[in-house]
A and B are shown apart, each in its own frame.
Chain A
Amino acid sequence: MSTESDNIESIVNRRYEHGFVTDIATDTMPPGLDENVVRAISARKNEPEFLLEWRLRAYRQWREMQEPDWAHVHYPPIDFESISYYAAPKSDDDRPKSLEDVDPKLLETYDKLGIPLHERARLAGVAVDAVFDSVSVATTFKERLSEAGVIFCPFSEAVANHPELVQKYLGSVVPQRDNFYAALNSAVFSEGSFVYIPKGVRCPMELSTYFRINAANTGQFERTLIIADEGSHVSYLEGCTAPMRDENQLHAAVVELVALKDAEIKYSTVQNWYPGDENGVGGIYNFVTKRGDCRGANSKISWTQVETGSAITWKYPSCLLRGDNSVGEFYSVAVANNYQQADTGTKMIHIGRNTSSTIVSKGISAGNAENAYRGLVRVMPQADGARNHTQCDSLLIGKNCGAHTFPYMEIKNPGARVEHEATTSKISADQLFYCRQRGISEEDAVNMIVNGFCKEVFKELPMEFAVEAQALLNVSLEGAVG
């Protein structure tokens, strides 16, 4: 059997080892997936009938689908029967009691990233009651949101308290059978975030998964649904720059965004899942489906992502520009070092009139990594006045890495204006020597050049996030040269 499925298996086995001894049956389901597992997940979460039916439909569709192989990534086949599809969140007893119990290497990285001391404990998964500050911060935060009428809660809470919203919007952007991993997620997702911004409300603060209560365990199959009602505005931050380790190797999340008339959603991601060691062993497979639907006129959805983690990233945050005058944006920095593989990009589907989209993609490859940009711009026949500008730049560090660009354009309206620019550059030995002759160390020179290369994307991130992202990039590329 292949190494990676061995890994998955060993992870599953490890779980057994690790003392869910007393009540394995209630906390972790045995590996494998069938209808009973789907029913059991739904039952465990006390879900209403409609959701169970929805999951079952997804499961049946998934059974008939093939794992896609078109991405420019290579990995041994995944054995879906060896994965356990439900594990209850760890109880506090299983977590480190204090920072002293945490892997020192992880703490060292926090230090390099400049993460404040009081946040390190929470990030490292130290039991919540041992973490000062966070509880009070979260409480004030909740109060301010509820005053504004904003709903921001774990997905299962939304299913219990706002089933009508969930039923109306779930799967309306990413249908169950959209793709193999989306179908799998639809069948077995166990947690995620739900956001609803009422009409005309400008969300009073940036929403961050970071502050989500009970967010200690992000699931293997996460589901996020964000609805911005007419004239509302929200900025959502996902992930954080601290390295995220997880015992699950396969991650298949689905994110759906719905922007109604005049609404705006800004979705920023910093993804730093464990990429594996220098030889590429043991990293996370991140197969994500993210899509936004500009459903109403004059709506806007903007994706900004900084992708530095995971062994394999397979991710195309997209926009369906259905409303007239709607706007879609995609700003991306994807870094691949050592043996990481990234295949990422976006899809902009122009349906409404005078819709416009902007794509700025910056790919950085170092070591033996492979980085691919894959983008689709589709202009439907009725999309008069559609405009797109795509800029796609690759930066290579060293001799053994690769950058690939796969732009697809399907233009069915003769009046559309679509522009594509692409560049590939290399950090040259001459540039490094020049910087060193000016007193700047090689590592600082690389950071300076890389940050210069990514500037356009970083400026789209919320301020604090941008500073962290910059530090993160520097850490990710440590040792990339020489």
Chain B
Amino acid sequence: MLEIKNLKATIGSTEILRGLSLSVNAGEVHAIMGPNGSGKSTLAQVIAGHADYEVTDGTVTYRGSDLLELEPEERAREGIFLGFQYPVEIAGVNNAYLLKASMNAKRKHQGLEEIDAFEFLKLAKEKMALLGMDPKFLNRGVNEGFSGGEKKRNEILQMAMLEPSLAILDETDSGLDIDALRAVAEGVNSLRAPDRAIILVTHYQRLLDYIEPDFVHVLSEGRIVRSGDKSLALQLEEKGYDWVREAATG
């Protein structure tokens, strides 16, 4: 589904990704781990198409076509979803309104009718119940005055409604208490499907207790230095990131 080859990307004059390669197939869950500053979030932003990052080399192929050619909104309509590490607040714009606009943008792209208002509401309430969210959140401003945990749940709600083909969750576990973490993990697990791939970007192994990845990759200085199955995450937890760094350089 996603094929990244020798990807190099800079922000300003700083090179962050230095020749990263990664292959993700439908149905798989990949965890990308690594110390702060290793380029995890940059990878997520580059896949989503953030304009601050410049791709200087390499290719990203998504479902057979060149992803880097597409505008961010086109990537989204093609089924790429980024769960933000810091979801922004948009005061005055109703949460439900954004969600519906987002779904309809995608539906329009697929040549489908706009979603019916009742159908939308029913679906939203169903997904919110699963995430332990109060339906009142639908009528609040987008992330406006939400706690850290509420914002992250809201991201998962959007993901659940949009049913992406490729979901990238950037530090979705950061700042969550154990209940929120569980709810978010359940939300993600419920979306695991043979036609969908999920990339979890995380600093801690903790999230992987709840969402079991098929592959774990360790990122260091803009490259994947080690890949393995879920046991790699446990090893990391035990030995710390210095261990991979040493492994990478030594």
Partners in one complex: yes
A interface residue numbers (CB < 8 A to B):
425, 428-431, 433-442, 444, 448-449, 452-453, 455
Given A449-B93, A452-B141: A441 and B88 within 8 A (CB)? no
Contact A437 B48 (CB under 8 A): yes
Contact B88 A438 (CB under 8 A): no
Q: Tell me the minimal C-beta distance from B201 to chain A in angstroms.
A: 15
Partner of B98, one of A428, A438, A441, A442: A438
Among A425, A431, A449, A452, which residue has the most Cβ atoms of chain B within 10 A? A452
By beta carbon, the residue of chain A nearest B144 is A452
User: Sorted from nearest, which 9 A-B pairs have the closest CB atoms?
Assistant: A452-B92, A439-B105, A452-B93, A439-B76, A438-B102, A436-B72, A436-B73, A439-B77, A434-B88
Partner of B82, one of A425, A437, A452, A453: A437
Which residues of chain B are within 8 angstroms of A437 by Cβ–Cβ distance? 48-49, 72-73, 75-76, 81-82, 84
By beta carbon, the residue of chain B nearest A433 is B50
Contact B109 A448 (CB under 8 A): no
Which residues of chain A are within 8 angstroms of B73 by Cβ–Cβ distance? 436-437, 439-442
Which residues of chain B are within 8 angstroms of A440 by Cβ–Cβ distance? 73, 98, 101-102, 105
Contact B76 A438 (CB under 8 A): yes
Partner of A448, one of B77, B93, B106: B93
| B228: Cβ under 8 A from any A Cβ | no
| B90: Cβ under 8 A from any A Cβ | yes
Q: List 5 A-B contacts (CB under 8 A).
A: A436-B49, A436-B73, A439-B77, A439-B106, A452-B97
Contact A455 B76 (CB under 8 A): no
Contact B101 A448 (CB under 8 A): yes
By beta carbon, the residue of chain A nearest B92 is A452
Contact B98 A439 (CB under 8 A): no
Contact A434 B76 (CB under 8 A): no
| B41: Cβ under 8 A from any A Cβ | no
| B123: Cβ under 8 A from any A Cβ | no
Q: Interface size on B (CB < 8 Å)?
A: 30
Given A434-B87, A438-B158, A441-B73: A453 and B105 within 8 A (CB)? no
| B71: Cβ under 8 A from any A Cβ | yes
Given A449-B92, A449-B93, A452-B90: A435 and B106 within 8 A (CB)? no
Quick one: which of B61-98 are within 8 Å of A by CB?
A: 71-73, 75-77, 81-82, 84, 87-88, 90-94, 97-98
Within the assembled complex, what's the spacing in Å between the Cα atoms of A428 and B89?
10
Within the assembled complex, what's the spacing in Å between the Cα atoms of A56 and B98?
58
Contact A448 B76 (CB under 8 A): no
Within the assembled complex, what's the spacing in Å between the Cα atoms of A453 and B71?
26
| B51: Cβ under 8 A from any A Cβ | yes
B interface residue numbers (CB < 8 A to A):
48-51, 71-73, 75-77, 81-82, 84, 87-88, 90-94, 97-98, 101-102, 105-106, 109, 141, 158, 162
Within the assembled complex, what's the spacing in Å between the Cα atoms of A430 and B73?
14
Which residues of chain B are within 8 angstroms of A428 by Cβ–Cβ distance? 88
By beta carbon, the residue of chain A nearest B103 is A439
By beta carbon, the residue of chain A nearest B106 is A439
By beta carbon, the residue of chain A nearest B141 is A452
Q: A437-B76, A439-B109, A448-B98 are in contact. List 15 more A-B contacts (CB 8 A).
A: A433-B48, A434-B90, A435-B98, A436-B72, A437-B49, A437-B75, A437-B84, A438-B98, A440-B98, A441-B105, A444-B101, A449-B92, A449-B93, A452-B93, A453-B92
Within the assembled complex, what's the spacing in Å between the Cα atoms of A444 and B108?
14
Within the assembled complex, what's the spacing in Å between the Cα atoms of A153 and B48?
59
Which residues of chain A are within 8 angstroms of B91 by Cβ–Cβ distance? 425, 452-453
Which residues of chain B are within 8 angstroms of A455 by Cβ–Cβ distance? 92
Contact B84 A434 (CB under 8 A): yes
Contact A438 B105 (CB under 8 A): yes
Which residues of chain B are within 8 angstroms of A438 by Cβ–Cβ distance? 76, 98, 101-102, 105, 158, 162
Within the assembled complex, what's the spacing in Å between the Cα atoms of A431 and B142?
10
Given A437-B82, A444-B101: A452 and B72 within 8 A (CB)? no
Which residues of chain B are within 8 angstroms of A453 by Cβ–Cβ distance? 91-92
Which residues of chain B are within 8 angstroms of A430 by Cβ–Cβ distance? 88
Q: Tell me the minimal C-beta distance from A54 to chain B in angstroms.
A: 47
Q: Tell me the minimal C-beta distance from A203 to chain B in angstroms.
A: 33
Given A434-B84, A448-B97, A452-B141: A439 and B90 within 8 A (CB)? no
By beta carbon, the residue of chain A nearest B90 is A431
Among A437, A444, A452, A455, which residue has the most Cβ atoms of chain B within 10 A? A437
Among A429, A433, A442, A455, which residue has the most Cβ atoms of chain B within 10 A? A433
Contact B76 A436 (CB under 8 A): yes
Which residues of chain A are within 8 angstroms of B49 by Cβ–Cβ distance? 436-437
